[in-house]
Structure 1
Amino acid sequence: MNLQATLGGITYTFKSLKEVMAKANEEKSGDRLAGIAAETVQERIAAKTVISNLLVSDIRNNPLIPIEEDEVSRIIEGDINERIYAEIKNWSIAELREYILSNRVGDRELKRISRGMNSETIAAVTKLMSNLDLVQAAGKVEILTTCNITIGHKGTISSRLQPNHPTDSVSGMLASLKDGLSYGIGDAVIGINPVDDSVESVKRLLHATSDFINEWEIPTQNCVLAHVTTQMKAIEQGAPADMIFQSIAGTEKANRSFGISAELIAEAKDLALKQGTSRGPQVMYFETGQGSELSAESHYGIDQVTLEARNYGFAKHFDPFIVNTVVGFIGPEYLYNNKQVIRAGLEDHFMGKMHGIPMGVDICYTNHIKADQNDIEDLGVLLSASGVNFIIAAPMGDDVMLNYQSMSFHDVATLLQTFQKTPAKEYLKWLEKMGIYENGRLSERAGDPTIFMR
């Protein structure tokens, strides 16, 4: 494995695959904080040159975290299709990039070849792609999943309706819920981040959303995003949950800091299939975000793009209904400004699609990051062009509980209209029945929450 490149008469030598992967990454403040980023643009280009000449087998044969030390590594390694891997193991990463971007290669071919790659290989090819490459490649892939309804068809963009409330007030939550529904939001999930992680609070919110969904015969799914163990207890006590949520990370040590393991996630999935209220078969919801492993001091000197790819390898193992990255939420320590947030959103979406998982994005930022609403609207446009499965939306784009800025209900509606896309098919039929949509577009009555007042 050659880890050396000469550019402009200067020879750059990298000590390990881990080092060259980190230095080939586009500029990220998290990599800089970890002390693993390229020192100059020239060094970054040299690292990309080295990566481009590595073989798929080089990356698999030099694990960044050995399988003996990490269950995420074991899961990713164990899920590789050996027959497909044998077909591509002697391809260079540059050749893999050209294949992915080729006009002759589409959805079927990309989903097949991805089964022969580990997460680090997908991360490596991501480092060689421009933003437009990431848009084009991700847009080829269609990932369909079913919980109560099916989402992901080309020509659609689904959305998570996020009616959070700073005191978990059911009436306050329902007010936001009605507002979002009136804009056609919520086919991916009605998902609430609770302030109170107690079983009783989670049960109350699950019952409230389930009752409302049943009363209005809404073809969607509910979820309360408490810790997985809290949700499991609520379900065991009879709470109506369509799926189970958990934040995940790209290393076993980081997952332990979240209080989870692969065994626990498997147990949660089994419970959701046996006692959850959806028809499935996909019943899990995972959330990720670049930088979480570094914040947990569990990054092993690995760059945040590669660690994020490992998240998706872990998520894929449990056949989720939806996965989303929360890009821009953790803070400027990991993604410093609008340029880094936009790049990360496109990277994460592409890597998720290449893992074959139903990838969405919380297009967001916090008030101490160098980004604003225009920047996340730009990212919303790019992701809509990329075929994103779903987008998260909060009232007026301002989550008053989590204290960050996201896409608003009307932002998502505008993206759908701009790109001539619709919500999921079953949801669209319900919206038309309710008078919220008409001829595939928002009606004159859209945005009026009094539709849901009897």
Structure 2
Amino acid sequence: MGQSEPLKTLLAKASPARSGDFLAEIAAESQEERVKAQRRLADTTLQDILDEPLIDPDEDEVSALIYAQHDGDAFAAISNWSVGEFREWLLSENATTDAISDLKWALTPEMVAAVSKIMRNQDLIAVARKRPVVSKFRTTVGLPGHLSVRIQPNHPTDDPKGVAASIVDGLQFGCGDAVIGINPATDSPAAMRRLLELIEELRLRLECPVQSCVLAHVTTAIDCMKRGAPVDLVFQSIAGSQKANSSFGINLAMLKEAREAALSLDRGTVGNNVMYFETGQGAALSADAHHGIDQQTMEARAYAVAREYEPLLVNTVVGFIGPEYLYDGKEIIRAGLEDHFCGKLLGVPMGVDVCYTNHAEADQDDMDNLLTLLGVAGVNFIMGVPGSDDIMLNYQSTSYHDAAYIREVLNLKAAPEFEDWMRRVGLFDETGHLLPQSHEDSARLLGKADLEAA
């Protein structure tokens, strides 16, 4: 790396165009400048990248974590590869699932971000598909040939009947095997506990193998666990720098404390992955905590934080932050494929909220395209939002119907434990596909759910 061009400058100039990098005034000013930067990046070695921290590890605990995680012995065999040679290997037959998986701790976020910048969309899909990441709690998420769905039954007032109705609606479409995850209208221990108990009662009544999560702040979850609330998964938004995480009111020690508390509850049945993280390109920039680094590389750094705590789910909320960071459907699609690729290479159980805000230059056709591409790429899970319209967070995502579509056209299955339950209650056929709507089976499920008791 030449003295005149810091690594973070090269990475930013080589990034495919997006509004956030222009907002930060670090993007290439023309496609010609971008392509020239990509050629220089392709000739940069992985050792060069390792040797130049983007943020001083003595001043940033995320950087310190990245270097503490790094496996020098596993890295030795690839250290002299250029980024271009790394790309060619990833696309070759030699890069098998096991071979890519073996590099999990040899690779840093900056390395996988770098190689993603010189890859076409089809390259990102082809490589990510070769790298499944499996996690477990009450269901097994991420198996090849499977796609799980988070039920997102948000309500603007956390109305119990409204939330419960959305959950049962989602279950009838075969959704919920990733998690039943509620963004609470109010972040407080009392509100979190009410929602957790609602899901717990419904889960036990239906004898359904699902896990729950109320997406309150990690400190709220810790408080609830101390008070005996039925916490399955602990949620937290995370980012790629210490300063950005501080803007969320967290540090790495808090995440460790929360994970240890959740593990001590021993609520999982098939596994003990107890954390749920959400990320998104632009999060660090929006907090003025990007340190002059492009938003896609900063996003990849968040995955180093995530993998440290062996999560069940990591979700990039790709279009949620707004057009200031990803302007239109093309930028959102590219970012979703990048995030999924980078997460999988780093060993993260990656899902994507295929979404956009109403003031972005995007529409549901763009989301259909991204959803289908991610299904081919082997994404672990997507969102299931009633009607695709989140009436509490005011953005557009994927619906229960969209989940049924992508499973059908790509022959993808639900998590095995959940699939067995869906067959027992008469909603899946023997091959694991959604049966035509049956009034009798729906009535039976609704009766057992007893929504009036919610």
Could you tell me the TM-score, scaled by structure 2's length?
0.96
Tell me which residue corresponds to 1:444.
Answer: 436
> Displacement of 1:445 after TM fit?
2.5
Tell me which residue corresponds to 1:354.
Answer: 345
Contact conserved, 2:266 with 2:272, CA < 8 A, in 1? no
**Greater Cα shift, 145-154 or 381-390:** 145-154
Q: Distance in 2 between matches of 1:118 and 1:261?
A: 20
Among 191, 194, 200, which residue is 2:181 paired with?
191
Alignment gaps of 5+ in structure 1: 4-13
In the alignment of these two chains, the number of paired residues is 444
> Displacement of 1:15 after TM fit?
2.4
> Displacement of 1:95 after TM fit?
0.5
Q: Which amino acid aligns with 1:374?
A: D
Could you say what secondary structure the match of 2:76 adopts?
helix
Could you say what secondary structure the match of 2:336 adopts?
helix
Cα shift readout 1:214-253 (whole Å, capped 9, x = no counterpart):
1111111000000111111112111101110000000000
Q: Distance in 2 between matches of 1:16 and 1:105?
A: 30
Contact conserved, 1:162 with 1:190, CA < 8 A, in 2? yes
Among 190, 194, 197, which residue is 1:200 paired with?
190
Among 273, 285, 299, which residue is 1:282 paired with?
273
Q: Distance in 1 between matches of 2:74 and 2:237?
A: 30
Q: How does 1:114-193 map to 2 (within 5 A)?
A: 114-193=104-183
> Displacement of 1:16 after TM fit?
1.1
Q: Which amino acid aligns with 1:453?
A: G
Tell me which residue corresponds to 2:315.
Answer: 324
Tell me which residue corresponds to 1:244.
Answer: 234
Q: Distance in 2 between matches of 1:281 and 1:233?
A: 20
> Displacement of 1:114 after TM fit?
3.0
> Displacement of 1:199 after TM fit?
0.7
Q: Distance in 2 between matches of 1:446 and 1:56?
A: 56
Contact conserved, 1:243 with 1:276, CA < 8 A, in 2? no
Tell me which residue corresponds to 1:36.
Answer: 26
Q: Which runs of 4+ in 1 moved over 4 A?
A: 446-449
Q: Distance in 2 between matches of 1:446 and 1:35?
A: 56
Cα shift readout 1:253-310 (whole Å, capped 9, x = no counterpart):
0000000000000000000011363344210010000000000000000000100010
Q: Distance in 2 between matches of 1:254 and 1:200?
A: 28
Alignment gaps of 5+ in structure 2: 449-454
Could you say what secondary structure the match of 2:411 adopts?
coil
Q: How does 1:250-329 map to 2 (within 5 A)?
A: 250-275=240-265, 277-279=267-269, 280-329=271-320
Aligned CA RMSD, in angstroms, stands at 1.2
Could you say what secondary structure the match of 1:297 adopts?
coil
Tell me which residue corresponds to 1:98.
Answer: 88
The question of 1:411 aligning with 2:402 is answered yes
The question of 1:429 aligning with 2:420 is answered yes
Q: Which amino acid aligns with 2:285?
A: L
Contact conserved, 1:178 with 1:449, CA < 8 A, in 2? no
Could you tell me the TM-score, scaled by structure 1's length?
0.96
Contact conserved, 1:309 with 1:352, CA < 8 A, in 2? yes
> Displacement of 1:55 after TM fit?
0.6
Among 211, 215, 229, which residue is 1:221 paired with?
211
